[in-house]
Amino acid sequence: MSIPTLDASGKVVVVTGGSKGLGRAMALGFAEAGADVVVASRKLEPCEAVAREIRAMGRRALAVSCHVGDWEQCAALVDATVAEFGRIDVLVNNAGIAPVPPSLVDVTADLFDKTIAVNLKGPLRLTALAAQHMRAGGSIINISSKASLHPTPFTVVYAAAKAGLNALTKAAANEFGPRGIRVNAIVCGTFHTDSLHASIPTEELQAQMASNVGLGRIATADEIVGTALYLASNASSYLTGELITLDGG
Ligand SMILES: NC(=O)c1ccc[n+]([C@@H]2O[C@H](COP(=O)([O-])OP(=O)(O)OC[C@H]3O[C@@H](n4cnc5c(N)ncnc54)[C@H](OP(=O)(O)O)[C@@H]3O)[C@@H](O)[C@H]2O)c1
């Protein structure tokens, strides 16, 4: 028996929201592990910047502008990936937004639609489309949130969207399991990224949040990479439909 590794050499990996935060960390991490990477988000230039970093590592990279809530743009992302690389081995549904309404009654139709579109509608369509270009061994990784398991009045729409993403994870795992394609979610606790700093801006509030974490600190963005590499690799070959909580305890 050979010992499984996290090596991603020769894999084609698509990361949505790959221009910054957790997505950028995973895009660079997969490239470091040997993968070719498609970096997608709405703004092209930040994706190009990450793609340049990946090419500097000697890997291939493609930057694509894609609003994941728009299904035509989801199709264009998959088409561009297949045109460039011929297939998809790993899809990371990472793009997400978490607008915070002051209360339930302040949730507008626009906020509801946008939050569901980016966190759930896009991942559903991309999962369906990308799986058509995957072989046995393919892996889909959904980036969920602990808010999906512990919703508050402020996170109600975001939490519902991520709970939907958890359900999508299990449904797609059942659908694609017979083809050898695995689907799992990383249920994230708190990570230092722009979106966290926008919603929890002061060091005092961040320290308060860290005090509720078993390890006593908020994670750095690159601490998601090991779990993503694991879920993409044959080290997790019998793991599917699973929600892995990554929250520092
Ligand atoms: N940070 C945390 O503590 C935390 C906790 C739990 C879960 N998460 C989840 O982790 C994921 C990444 O979060 P993050 O903190 O790294 O966020 P971030 O730093 O705000 O980055 C978000 C990324 O998503 C892209 N994006 C936003 N809207 C998009 C859209 N409509 N279509 C395509 N791309 C879009 C952004 O680029 P553009 O602006 O160019 O589109 C950016 O690349 C999200 O799903 C989030 O819900 C994060």
**Residue 247 Ramachandran class (φ > 0 left, ψ -120 to 50 alpha, else beta):** alpha
Is 17 exposed, middle or buried, given 0-12, 13-18 or 19+ CB atoms closer than 10 A?
Answer: buried
- Amino acid in position 3: I
Give the mean pLDDT of 80-105.
96
In a domain, 214, yes or no: no
pLDDT score at 138: 98
Q: Does the beta carbon of 50 lie inside 6 Å of ligand 1?
A: no
Choosing from 14, 15, 19 the residue with most ligand 1 atoms within 8 A of its CB, the one to mutate for a pocket test is: 19
Is position 204 within any domain? no
C-beta 43 within 6 A of ligand 1: yes
Does residue 152 register a pLDDT over 90? no
What's the number of domains the chain is made of? 1
Residue-level pLDDT at 219: 98
What is the mean predicted confidence (pLDDT) over 16-42?
A: 98
Look at residue 45 and tell me if it is in a domain: yes
DSSP string, 63-122: EEE--TTSHHHHHHHHHHHHHHHS--SEEEE--------SSGGG--HHHHHHHHIIIIIH
Is 71 within a domain? yes
pLDDT tens digit sequence for 130-151:
999 999 999 999 999 999 999 9
What pLDDT, on the 0 to 100 scale, is given for residue 199?
A: 85
Q: Does ligand 1 have an atom closer than 6 angstroms to the CB of 94?
A: yes
Q: For residues 174 and 190, what is the distance between their CA atoms, to the nearest angstrom? A: 29
Cβ–Cβ under 8 Å, residues 11 and 89: yes
- Structure confidence by residue, pLDDT tens digits, 49-77: 999 999 999 999 999 999 999 999 999 99
N-term to C-term CA, the chain: 33
Confidence band of 170 (pLDDT split at 50, 70, 90): very high
pLDDT of residue 154: 82
Does 226 fall in a domain? Answer: yes
pLDDT in tens, 186-224: 999 999 999 999 888 899 999 999 999 999 999 999 999
Q: Are the C-beta atoms of 91 and 118 separated by less than 8 Å?
A: no
Residues with Cβ within 8 Å of residue 225, at least 6 apart in sequence: 25, 26, 29
| CA 230 / ligand 1 centre spacing (Å) | 21
Residue 42 has pLDDT above 90, yes or no: yes
User: Hey, which residues does 191 pair with through a beta bridge?
Assistant: 219
* Residue positions annotated with a catalytic role: 158
Out of 5-19, 120-134, 151-165, which region has the weakest mean confidence (pLDDT)? Answer: 151-165
Distance CA 29, CA 231 (A): 13
Is residue 212 in a domain? Answer: no
Mean local confidence (pLDDT), 156-170: 98
Instruction: Kindly state whether residue 142 falls inside one of the protein's structural domains.
Output: yes
Query: Can you give the CATH number for the domain in which 233 is found?
Result: 3.40.50.720
Q: Does residue 1 surpass a pLDDT of 80?
A: no
Ligand 1 centroid – CA 174 distance (Å): 27
CA-closest candidate to residue 161, choices 212, 107, 232, 198: 107
**Residues spanned by the domain of 65:** 12-187+221-246
pTM: predicted TM-score of the whole model, two decimal places: 0.98
**Centroid of ligand 1 to alpha carbon of 100 (angstroms):** 14
Residue of 37, 64, 141, 145 best suited for mutating to test ligand 1, as the one with most atoms within 8 Å of CB: 145
User: What is the spatial distance between Cα 26 and Cα 32, in angstroms, rounded to a whole number?
Assistant: 10
Ligand 1: centre distance to CA 142 (Å): 12
Q: Is residue 148 part of a domain?
A: yes
